[in-house]
């Protein structure tokens, strides 16, 4: 886990294995390019004493940074999609009623304080006065009502990917200019967490189907240039209530190729690189990493084929050396998941559970006892590299399962076909890989999807487990809710409905001049970044 403060060297780095020759060659090339850049700087200074900014490895003026993301946003509408590129941009442009501290504590943001629950289906928020949108529109209760009604309209029209996040919203009503009530379809204890995710838009946006061309938030940055798929530039907003950030201008470049991002960081073109490959950690001027919200996991079909046998499912867990996955697949930038999808900071986490131990002999014995030796298990993954080192991970799993006596039909599908299988209900594969994230920091994000029978990614029909998750989703008493989720997590572990693997860290490469501490919710909030000369 990341710890400490950022300095001029590696921060919280985990030891890596000896780099192979290709990595050494890349390092030599990057060092050579950087050296040439320094020569160019010196030459420019020698001409007239002022230097030529275009010849230096910096990104522009001293208050501008460039961030390289692995993927471009599929939309700039804060309500239509749920992808990392969209969040990286819009988290700086729009704000929410509630926010989180860097360590994940829920706090007020556009709201003046925490909400009050009026009754089982009504939450009341007091709003901060004196806030305006970037176009000058006043933020008040009308904006909250318009936002809720817009999201409900998008869900009803099947126009958004966020229906699972906001399906419980029944409406909103204005009490007065600075007081608003949000209504839910039934008791929803996760409503405050949802309001940490719902970006507030101006009333004029309510009737629009796509806001990508008219971004207008209350956040500390505004969009000033958008080259779709290539680059987006934000500038700090004058007069924001939190003051002008240190970083006055940020350029987001979209660079799918891992090596290109690493090269750009080494050459001084980028100040921050996300999803830094573990093998490139030693190449970064600064390294920052923190346990994130991604949990690579394999969902097993508990209803059909050999995986319908609990002992076989247990064997599939026992066959895997999860510490080797941490070390070999993720270069040390991960921790073994203790037999559950929930992270330690999430309600419902069962601290008494432990990961299935690595015991390939017992795994082979169980498989033989159940008459499954030589049987074929279909393992589905995806081929586009959507998640860090995901192909290497499923290949590791396939090899381990073959080693205990199974035949493995490994199918790596195009991402669209993969999603059809992951969320399809007609047939379920014996085993399917997914990386489950929980940026909401609430169990209602993951357990209804992958644990509860009928969930979009679930592969079991356990009525008891489904009942626990269902009851927890409407339990307003926090202690009782925690206990219901904890029982659900423990039951799924006992039945080995999934193969739990690791919780990966968010790994970032930083330039020498950037100072930033990664957040528990994986957000890239530029207002929290600073620069040194």
In sequence order, what DSSP letters do the residues of 372-403 get, joined into one string? -TT-EEEEEEESS--STTHHHHHHHHHHHHHH
Q: Per the structure block, which two tokens stand in for 339?
A: 């037999």
Determine which helix (DSSP H) or strand (DSSP E) holds 363, and give its type and residue range: helix 360-369
Q: DSSP letter for 252, please.
A: E
- Domain with residues 95-205, CATH architecture: 3-Layer(aba) Sandwich (3.40)
- Supply the DSSP string of 89-132, one letter for each residue: HHHHH--BSEEE-TT--EEESSBSS--EEEETTEEEEEB-SS-B
In the chain, what is the straight-line distance between the N-terminal and C-terminal CA atoms, in Å? 29
Matching residue, tokens 């097993």: 300
Name the CATH code of domain 294-505 (choices 3.40.50.80, 1.20.1560.10, 3.40.190.80, 3.10.105.10). Answer: 3.10.105.10
- The boundaries of every CATH 3.10.105.10 domain in the chain are 294-505
Q: Judge residue 452's burial from the number of C-beta atoms within 10 Å of its C-beta, 0-12 exposed, 13-18 middle, 19 or more buried.
A: buried
Residues 6+ apart with CB under 8 A from 133: 139, 143, 202, 216, 217, 218
| 3 state SS of 500 | strand
Structure tokens at 28: 């030599």
In 3D space, the residue among 302, 395, 310, 353 whose CA is nearest the CA of residue 500 turns out to be 353
Residue 364 near residue 499, CB atoms below 8 Å: no
For the chain, 533 residues long, give each residue's pLDDT as a single digit of tens. 222 223 323 333 333 332 333 344 444 444 433 333 333 323 333 333 333 333 233 344 689 999 999 889 989 999 998 788 999 999 999 999 999 999 999 999 999 999 999 999 999 999 999 999 999 999 999 999 999 999 999 999 999 988 889 999 999 999 999 999 999 999 999 999 999 999 999 999 999 999 999 999 999 999 999 998 899 999 999 999 999 899 999 999 999 898 999 999 999 999 999 999 999 999 999 999 999 999 999 999 999 999 999 999 999 999 999 999 999 999 999 999 999 999 998 999 999 999 999 999 999 999 999 999 999 999 999 998 888 899 999 999 999 999 999 999 999 999 889 989 998 877 899 999 999 998 889 999 999 999 999 998 999 999 999 999 999 999 999 999 999 999 999 999 999 999 999 999 999 999 999 999 999 999 999 999 999 98
Q: For 241-265, b where at least 16 C-beta lie within 10 A, e where not — what string?
A: eeeebebbbbbbbbbeebeebbbbb
Q: Are 511 and 68 in contact (CB under 8 A)?
A: no
Which CATH architecture fits 21-73+219-285+511-531? 3-Layer(aba) Sandwich (3.40)
DSSP assignment letter at 226: E
Every domain range in the chain assigned CATH 3.40.190.10? 21-73+219-285+511-531, 95-205
Residues 6 or more apart whose Cβ sits within 8 Å of residue 262: 26, 30, 273, 276, 277, 280, 283, 284, 509
């Amino acid at each position: 886990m990341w710890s400490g403060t950022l300095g001029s060297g590696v921060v919280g780095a985990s030891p890596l294995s000896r780099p192979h020759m290709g990595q050494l060659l890349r390092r030599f090339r990057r060092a050579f390019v950087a050296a040439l850049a320094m020569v160019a700087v010196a030459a420019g200074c020698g001409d007239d004493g002022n230097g030529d900014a275009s010849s230096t490895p910096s990104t522009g003026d001293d208050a501008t940074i460039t961030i390289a993301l692995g993927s471009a946003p599929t939309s700039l509408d804060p309500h239509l999609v749920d992808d990392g590129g969209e969040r990286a941009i819009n988290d700086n442009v729009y704000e929410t009623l509630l926010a989180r501290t860097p360590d994940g504590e829920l706090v007020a943001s556009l709201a003046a304080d925490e909400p009050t629950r009026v009754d089982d289906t009504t939450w009341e928020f007091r709003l901060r006065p004196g806030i305006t949108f970037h176009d000058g529109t006043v933020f008040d209760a009308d904006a909250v009502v318009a936002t809720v009604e817009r999201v409900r309209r998008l869900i009803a029209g099947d126009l958004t990917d966020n229906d699972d996040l906001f399906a419980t919203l029944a409406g909103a009503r204005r009490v007065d200019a600075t007081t608003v009530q949000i209504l839910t379809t039934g008791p929803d204890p996760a409503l405050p967490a949802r309001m940490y995710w719902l970006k507030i838009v101006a009333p004029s946006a309510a009737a629009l189907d796509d806001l990508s061309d008219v971004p207008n938030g209350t956040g500390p940055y505004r969009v000033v240039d958008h080259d779709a798929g290539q680059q987006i530039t934000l500038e700090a907003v004058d007069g924001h209530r939190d003051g002008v950030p240190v970083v006055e201008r940020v350029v987001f470049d979209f660079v799918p190729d891992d090596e290109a991002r690493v090269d750009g960081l080494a050459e001084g073109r980028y100040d921050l690189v996300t999803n830094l490959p573990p093998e490139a950690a030693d190449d970064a001027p600064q390294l920052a990493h923190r346990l994130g919200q991604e949990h690579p996991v394999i969902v097993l079909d508990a209803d059909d084929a050999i995986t319908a046998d609990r002992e076989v499912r247990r064997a599939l867990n026992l066959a895997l050396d999860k510490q080797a996955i941490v070390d070999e697949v993720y270069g040390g930038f991960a921790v073994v998941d203790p037999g559950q999808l929930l992270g330690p900071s999430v309600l419902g986490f069962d601290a008494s559970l432990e990961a299935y131990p690595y015991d390939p002999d017992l795994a082979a014995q169980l498989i033989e006892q159940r008459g499954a030796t030589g049987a074929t298990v279909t393992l589905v993954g995806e081929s586009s590299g959507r998640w860090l080192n995901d192909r290497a991970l499923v290949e590791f799993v396939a090899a381990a399962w073959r080693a205990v006596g199974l035949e493995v039909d490994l199918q790596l599908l195009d991402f669209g076909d993969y999603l059809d299988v992951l969320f399809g209900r007609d047939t379920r594969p014996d085993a399917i890989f997914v990386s489950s994230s929980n940026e909401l920091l609430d169990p209602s994000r993951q357990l209804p999807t992958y644990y509860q029978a009928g969930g979009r990614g679930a592969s079991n029909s356990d009525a008891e487990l489904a009942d626990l998750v269902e009851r927890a989703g409407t339990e307003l008493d926090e202690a009782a809710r925690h206990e219901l989720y904890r029982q659900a997590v423990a039951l799924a572990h006992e039945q080995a409905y999934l193969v739990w693997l690791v919780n990966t860290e968010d790994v970032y490469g930083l330039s020498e001049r950037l100072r930033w501490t990664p957040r528990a919710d994986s957000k890239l909030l530029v207002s929290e970044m600073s620069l040194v000369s």
